[in-house]
Amino acid sequence: MDNSEVFFYSAHKINNMLKRREISCVEIVKSILDRIEKVEGKINAYITVEKESMVREAREVDEYISKGGKIEDFTGIPVAIKDNICTKGILTTCASKILKNYVPVYDATVVRKLKEQRYILVGKANMDEFAMGSSNENSCFGPVKNPWDLTRVPGGSSGGPAACVASGEAICALGSDTGGSIRQPAALCGIVGFKPTYGRVSRYGLVAFASSLDQIGPLTRDVEDCAALLNVICGYDESDSTSIPAEVPDFKSFLKEGISSMRVGVPKELMVSGIDAEVREEVEKAILSLEELGAYVEEVSLPHLEYALDVYYIIAPSEASSNLSRFDGVRYGYRNKDAKTLREMYRKTRSEGFGDEVKRRIMLGTYSLSAGYYDAYYEKAQRVRTLIINDFRNAFEKYDVLVSPTSPTPAFRIGEKIDDPLTMYLSDICTIPVNLAGLPAISIPIGLSRKGLPIGFQIIGDILREDNVLRVAYSLEKAISFNKKPDLGFLEVL
């Protein structure tokens, strides 16, 4: 059997091969490491690669299997972890100078759960600094390149994890999603990305950006891997006060072809005039496919969604201003050594430690929370957020899922929007409402633009209704059969 492209296999395919003894974990890891050596210098998807521990752990897994050990879904599977998710004894930098040398003394809950299945940590993936960005250009370790076109962005803030999976530098990955940071890069890199219901996955060990919006989720090759990874990471955690004490179903049991009689709403506010013509064309084709599969599809209005971007850029920076106040140079992280006074040390440390986008959002949030402006901005934004939640609640009384583009455009060129924050913020216009309402949503690839760039399709479900999202995503994935990958030769010879 030709295993020359193991790095592009799905986790469930590798899992079956391990069970049939058709491949060893050492061979899987060697394939990933060889791939990293060939393409990582061009893509810059990783901040840290755990080469030595990968090989050591692979040997341990092979020995465990040879002795009759149980092979779980992610036993021996190489996974990349976004660098804002804590890993004990391994650098966790949030792609920021202020945490460049920070080594956690504990594992995030999601990492602990993967360790229980004997997964293989490939490394910590690059990202927008503190998860603030839509292009992965805001990293002190340099921008990540899109594997489909190295002149273009991979999306953000989970651009590194998405690029790892798309380029074959990991079988799957974990990212975080605050306003679309899993789904938008998944769309731009031609893979699957899932944001679970807020509280489905423990945030313990995730470095906080906006606590009422952040959620960890999977980036995978297909919907089946996505469901399997959700099975591992979901569940109540007493270490996270926002964790939902709800029973965790077997997400793989929802992967059934056939969506006849399901009701699908298309929010007209998410099919806005700024949607790229090619994106609109592919999304309309996907909607037609849903109808051909037997779903009832209808346009719907969620009138307050037009305010979602404004609401998000008050609430998220406000929470960031509070959360990032802990990075002051006193207890850990970067500290300016030349300051003469404590106040000067704070000012210089934070000025030098944070990048431009992080400082921009801290200032926005601090202003929104300041005396005299709190009621006018933050409190009013929370009131409008409630109206958005109610719009979704009303829609889900009639529809099983809602659908839209994931990103309004395919991947744009590096540097194209970096000097225009408002234009950059519009990249998340279709994904932000989902975070404000705490809903589950997935992005799956549905086609390529004329320039060969991936286009993503978003499927949104009601609170704790990942079952509907996965069922529609799986059926559409099978109907469309998107199986394109970045050009291997192109990446290896550049």
Catalytic residues: 82, 157, 181
Taking the chain, what is the end-to-end CA distance rounded to the nearest angstrom? 29
- Tell me how many degrees the CA angle 37-38-44 measures, rounded to the nearest 5: 75
Contact criterion met (CB below 8 Å) for 64 and 40: no
Long-range contacts of residues 11-14, Cβ cutoff 8 Å, at least 24 apart: 11/73, 11/74, 11/77, 11/171, 11/172, 11/220, 11/221, 11/225, 11/228, 11/229, 12/73, 12/224, 12/225, 12/228, 14/76, 14/77, 14/171
Query: Can you tell me the distance from the alpha carbon of 170 to that of 164, in angstroms, rounded to the nearest whole number?
Result: 5
**Interatomic CA distance for residues 203 and 334, integer angstroms:** 24
Nearest to 92 by CA among 78, 108, 77: 108
405 to each of 230, 355, 402, 426, 454, how far by Cα in Å?
23, 30, 11, 13, 12
Q: What are the tokens at 126?
A: 């690059």
Starting at the earlier edge strand, list the strands of the sheet with 192-195.
46-49, 120-125, 78-82, 172-176, 216-220, 192-195, 441-448, 454-461, 401-405, 263-267, 296-300
